[in-house]
Structure 1
Amino acid sequence: MRALAPVAASALLLSGCTGGGLGGVRGGPGGAGLGDPLFPGLGNGGYDVRHYSLTLAYDPGTGRLDGTAEILARAGRDLSAFNLDLHGLNVREVTVDGAAAAANRAGDELTVRPRNDLTGGRFFRTVVRYSGTPRTITDADESEEGWLRTAGGALAVGEPAGSPAWFPGNHHPSDKATLDLAVTVPRGLTAVSNGEPGSRTTTAGGRTTFVWRSAEPMATYTAVLAIGRYRQTSSRTPSGLPVHTAVEHSVRESLTRRIPELTAWAVERFGPYPFSSIGAIVVPDGAVGYALETQNRPVFPVSYLTPEILVHEIAHQWYGNSVTPESWKDMWLNEGFAVHAEWMWLAEFADTPLAESFRRAYEEDANWAFPPADPPSPARISASPVYGRGAMVLDKVRQSAGDEAFSRLLKGWAREYRHGNASTADFTAYAERVAGRDLDPVWETWLYGDGRPARP
């Protein structure tokens, strides 16, 4: 689906979003999953979230998280009940439009039954108060996400299914929403998240509350929260875009100074930057096992700080974060574009022509395990074909359409689906429209074909 332009939560509340409960409404339950081909249980049917407001307090000593999630959503049809995704944690209270609601847990599903049925088309406000020790989630590929405890703090990352470990929501990439976050932590610690920094206040007992606001919609898997001792710096790109960087106090690095330069390079090639700021969160090696494109504040273990990986995660702000996959089968639209951005940067600054990067990817056996648009299982959505062969698909489009048309495609694709969702079918249709020709040989051989084709 295409996401609507972001609308302030206060504006929605003022427009009469009092929920349902009109006499005579007889709704049915919302779906407990959206039927994603790889993650069928993720997400929930029957409603569309527009805004999350999270109020959290975390104690690293005990590992306890206390949270209140306020979720503003629009009912897609008459609802007698709806579901939220939540992993672990104890739910103390749920209200819908200020009235107590029944809530039942079954695994990672929290089923909420409002006092009155919700009328389709109306906005409603759900508040969930919860607490407990948030958990680390081990993915099918054995990587870890969710809530990762660090020395004296924590790091919360969510791709593909980790965000339910720290807040309830509609955790599928097709339901994007804006996010406000207020986090209270012990004296001396900092809380860093997506979006723009707001107030910083000292509370009773010397604890500090940090506020962050994301005005552009995001898929919940791109949300991040880093708690610890961080050195924060602010600068601007040549065009004036704010750059907010947080580096864990034990880390010594210098490459984040290149973020303004690399972002300016990306803007020239991909079009207007889609968010209100850029930056990075840099953590020690071992805090997390990968770099991640969390929205406008990507996460980097220090050993991942190379120019190529910086370019990769910056490119994701256009391809993956602003233009978000419709389903997890479309993951190659994130990674193929980001790897191809690396190839473009290497061609300009490291004397590595695009043809050489293509050749290396072609000769890598792992890239031919399966077609990039058809990962066979959740364990394979971050496997080599999604990255390397995905980039080869894009370069084959470039070779077929020409450099000028490909440049229009890079900018136009980011503009056409800005802050929305797109599928592989959307992309193939768009690419053929820009190229002005049928590209079936590219799709049949490089995107969907089995095995390695003859050397190009």
Structure 2
Amino acid sequence: MPLRLGAFVHRRIIAPGALAAASVLLAIPASAASYSPGAPGIGDPYYPAYGNGGYDVSHYDLRLKYQPATDELEGTATLLARTTQDLSRFDLDFLLEVSEVRVNGAKASFTTSGEHELEITPKSPLPKGTSVTVVVRYSGVPSSKQAYGFTSWHRTPDGGVGANEPESAWWWFPSNDHPLDKATYDVSVLVPDGSQAISNGTLQSTSSRLGWTRWNWRSDKPQATYLATLAVGKFDITTGTTESGIPVINAYSKDLGANDGAARASIERTGEVADWLSEYFGPYPYNALGGYVPDTTTGYALETQTRPYYSPRQFANGSNVSVVVHELAHQWYGDLVSVSGWKDIWINEGFARYAQWLWSEHEDEGTAQELADYVYDSHPADDPFWTVKPGDPGPENQFDIAVYDRGALAIQALRNEIGDDAFFAVLKGWPQKYAYGNASVADFQKYAEDVSGQSLSALFDTWLFQPTKPAAPAARAASIAKASAAPQQPKSWKKIAATNEVHAH
């Protein structure tokens, strides 16, 4: 991390002021020397400026007012946190205009720096281990803001949507924007009557007054910032419960046109799919479930916690239950257990893709083995597909198709290596071991070794970390593409491949 010395760097060799400066230094208590600014990034090598150091957030309380006609958002964000060092100053990640910041009730000074840093200097330094309440008042037009040349706020004909990966919070609430700092959420949104506000978790209440309706949502389990979502527009909302008793809330833009039927035919199966996935991954980990389809022009879907985001384009060619399987699999792999760093993305995407392969088996449209064989055979050795290392793909390839398809192929190789009993024990036990926390690819390898009793370093290296196609002997050893004839394309392949563009963030 670059040191941010800022105002601490002065003209040090100016003789007339030297004595005065020395006197000031002598007047500072010795203990104050331990206070320093929190780092402007949490330490992720892929995204050095994402997240922040010096504190950990436990809860976000967001009280918002949004005007769909103009895309104007007003908000008061209250963050409950605890310091992890002696802090003189700390950052939040945010883009909108801030009018006031208070830390533990006292007004704090603030400024901005970099692409998305809100620098806050509290009235008094904060000792390590202190509980801190930060209140930020703000306003702005999210669609007018960009960072690094892009936006994660999607303007729609009837409102707006905050949804993207690996970042979307900056456009609608100040945060410590990295999966390492998960928190619970209360999101309360005031919108004009006739519009709806969709977010994560359970709908606690709605109330109307003087032409405005307030929607109150609660996520009571730890949630990464990029998994928090807000959508305002004109939606048709359906409700129900899964067979296991989880309440389901789905929302469909009233402007989906010809895609409406296919979207509903897919997303209304959310409860069924979640119950089916729980057979493989363990009990569904939250008290809310659903999905929403706003009138956006983006191509991707996103596993926003408890209520995935889908774009209408997913359903342009008919129903697409496979993409629902993918995003719901993330509720365990990615949401319940989140990455330690963005290089660990294989744990999210490889397993969500593999869930689609298991669904293909369930639907009798091709086994996971047949899909693995087809992936291996479809890419010749000189295909750039094999140069991407799913175990550490680099930020430029974080959502490359190889992370998904080669990533799932690696999982089938693991299954063949350790056998079904150990494999399915790993699949179900992993989300329980790291529930509501974070873990890395190295953690996963160790867990699979502990469960199976086998050393797996060579297998993980071959299938996840080598920028080459695993040679035929390694493939045969992992029971991949053993048949002499080229594998036939499984019936489910086109359905699975139709979801590929949903990953182009």
Q: Normalising by the residue count of structure 1, what TM-score does the alignment of the two structures yield?
A: 0.91
Identify which range, 316-325 or 359-368, moves more after superposition.
359-368
2:299 is the counterpart of 1:289: yes
Q: How far apart are the structure 1 equivalents of 2:206 and 2:452?
A: 50
Q: Normalising by the residue count of structure 2, what TM-score does the alignment of the two structures yield?
A: 0.82
Asked whether the 8 Å contact 1:366–1:384 carries over to 2, the reply is no
Asked whether the 8 Å contact 1:105–1:111 carries over to 2, the reply is yes
Larger radius of gyration: 2
How has the CA–CA distance of structure 1 residues 23 and 98 changed in structure 2, closer, same or farther, with 3 Å as cutoff? Answer: farther
Deviation track 1:15-42 (CA, whole Å, cap 9, x = no partner) reads: xxxxxxx996552111011221110100
Q: How far apart are the structure 2 equivalents of 1:351 and 1:138?
A: 43
Kindly state the Cα deviation for residue 255 of structure 1 after the two structures are TM-superposed.
2.1
Q: How far apart are the structure 1 equivalents of 2:446 and 2:303?
A: 26
Q: How far apart are the structure 2 equivalents of 1:160 and 1:139?
A: 13
Counterpart residue number, 1:368: 386
Kindly state the Cα deviation for residue 258 of structure 1 after the two structures are TM-superposed.
1.2
Kindly state the Cα deviation for residue 138 of structure 1 after the two structures are TM-superposed.
7.3
Picking from 103, 127, 130, the partner of 2:135 is 127
Q: How far apart are the structure 2 equivalents of 1:203 and 1:159?
A: 35
Kindly state the Cα deviation for residue 82 of structure 1 after the two structures are TM-superposed.
0.7
Deviation track 1:196-237 (CA, whole Å, cap 9, x = no partner) reads: 001211133x01111100000111001111110111111111
Kindly state the Cα deviation for residue 287 of structure 1 after the two structures are TM-superposed.
3.3
Task: Trace 1:89-238 onto structure 2 (pairs within 5 A).
Answer: 89-107=96-114, 108-135=116-143, 146-204=152-210, 206-238=211-243
Identify which range, 367-376 or 120-129, moves more after superposition.
367-376
Counterpart residue number, 2:65: 57
Counterpart residue number, 1:18: none
Counterpart residue number, 2:342: 328
Amino acid at match of 2:409: M
Any idea what SS the aligned residue of 2:136 has? strand
Asked whether the 8 Å contact 1:145–1:158 carries over to 2, the reply is no
Asked whether the 8 Å contact 1:361–1:367 carries over to 2, the reply is no
Deviation track 1:1-23 (CA, whole Å, cap 9, x = no partner) reads: xxxxxxxxxxxxxxxxxxxxx99
Q: How far apart are the structure 1 equivalents of 2:330 and 2:167?
A: 18
Asked whether the 8 Å contact 2:161–2:229 carries over to 1, the reply is yes
2:429 is the counterpart of 1:412: yes
Tell me the C-alpha RMSD between the 2 structures: 1.8
Amino acid at match of 1:271: G
Picking from 257, 262, 267, the partner of 2:268 is 257
Q: How far apart are the structure 1 equivalents of 2:270 and 2:355?
A: 15
Kindly state the Cα deviation for residue 137 of structure 1 after the two structures are TM-superposed.
7.2
Asked whether the 8 Å contact 1:175–1:219 carries over to 2, the reply is yes
How has the CA–CA distance of structure 1 residues 433 and 381 changed in structure 2, closer, same or farther, with 3 Å as cutoff? Answer: same
Deviation track 1:139-190 (CA, whole Å, cap 9, x = no partner) reads: 98x9x65211101111111311221111111001111001110111112100
Counterpart residue number, 1:45: 53
Kindly state the Cα deviation for residue 437 of structure 1 after the two structures are TM-superposed.
0.4
Any idea what SS the aligned residue of 1:333 has? helix
Q: How far apart are the structure 2 equivalents of 1:62 and 1:351?
A: 47
How has the CA–CA distance of structure 1 residues 166 and 406 changed in structure 2, closer, same or farther, with 3 Å as cutoff? Answer: same
Q: How far apart are the structure 2 equivalents of 1:46 and 1:445?
A: 38
Asked whether the 8 Å contact 1:139–1:379 carries over to 2, the reply is no
Asked whether the 8 Å contact 2:388–2:397 carries over to 1, the reply is no
How has the CA–CA distance of structure 1 residues 200 and 114 changed in structure 2, closer, same or farther, with 3 Å as cutoff? Answer: same
Q: How far apart are the structure 2 equivalents of 1:164 and 1:95?
A: 19
Asked whether the 8 Å contact 2:231–2:294 carries over to 1, the reply is no
Q: How far apart are the structure 1 equivalents of 2:144 and 2:359?
A: 35
Asked whether the 8 Å contact 2:167–2:226 carries over to 1, the reply is yes
Q: How far apart are the structure 2 equivalents of 1:373 and 1:27?
A: 38
Deviation track 1:328-379 (CA, whole Å, cap 9, x = no partner) reads: 1001110000000000110121330112110222224453131111223x33
Using CA pairs under 8 Å that are at least 6 residues apart, name the structure with larger relative contact order, 1 or 2. Answer: 1
Amino acid at match of 1:249: K
Kindly state the Cα deviation for residue 431 of structure 1 after the two structures are TM-superposed.
0.9
Q: How far apart are the structure 1 equivalents of 2:428 and 2:336?
A: 12
Amino acid at match of 2:141: T
Identical-residue share of aligned pairs (%): 43
Picking from 311, 325, 332, the partner of 1:311 is 325
Any idea what SS the aligned residue of 1:41 has? coil
Q: How far apart are the structure 1 equivalents of 2:161 and 2:297?
A: 8
Kindly state the Cα deviation for residue 119 of structure 1 after the two structures are TM-superposed.
1.5
Counterpart residue number, 2:403: 386
Any idea what SS the aligned residue of 1:427 has? helix
Picking from 34, 38, 62, the partner of 2:42 is 34
Stretches of 4+ aligned residues off by more than 4 angstroms? 22-26, 136-140
2:284 is the counterpart of 1:273: yes
Counterpart residue number, 2:491: none
Any idea what SS the aligned residue of 2:152 has? strand
Q: How far apart are the structure 1 equivalents of 2:157 and 2:428?
A: 42
Asked whether the 8 Å contact 2:386–2:468 carries over to 1, the reply is yes
Picking from 279, 300, 312, the partner of 1:302 is 312
Q: How far apart are the structure 1 equivalents of 2:144 and 2:388?
A: 29
Q: How far apart are the structure 2 equivalents of 1:28 and 1:95?
A: 19
Q: How far apart are the structure 1 equivalents of 2:313 and 2:168?
A: 23
Deviation track 1:427-448 (CA, whole Å, cap 9, x = no partner) reads: 1111111111001221121011
Kindly state the Cα deviation for residue 450 of structure 1 after the two structures are TM-superposed.
1.7
Q: How far apart are the structure 2 equivalents of 1:152 and 1:278?
A: 24
Amino acid at match of 2:191: V
Kindly state the Cα deviation for residue 257 of structure 1 after the two structures are TM-superposed.
2.1
Kindly state the Cα deviation for residue 300 of structure 1 after the two structures are TM-superposed.
1.2
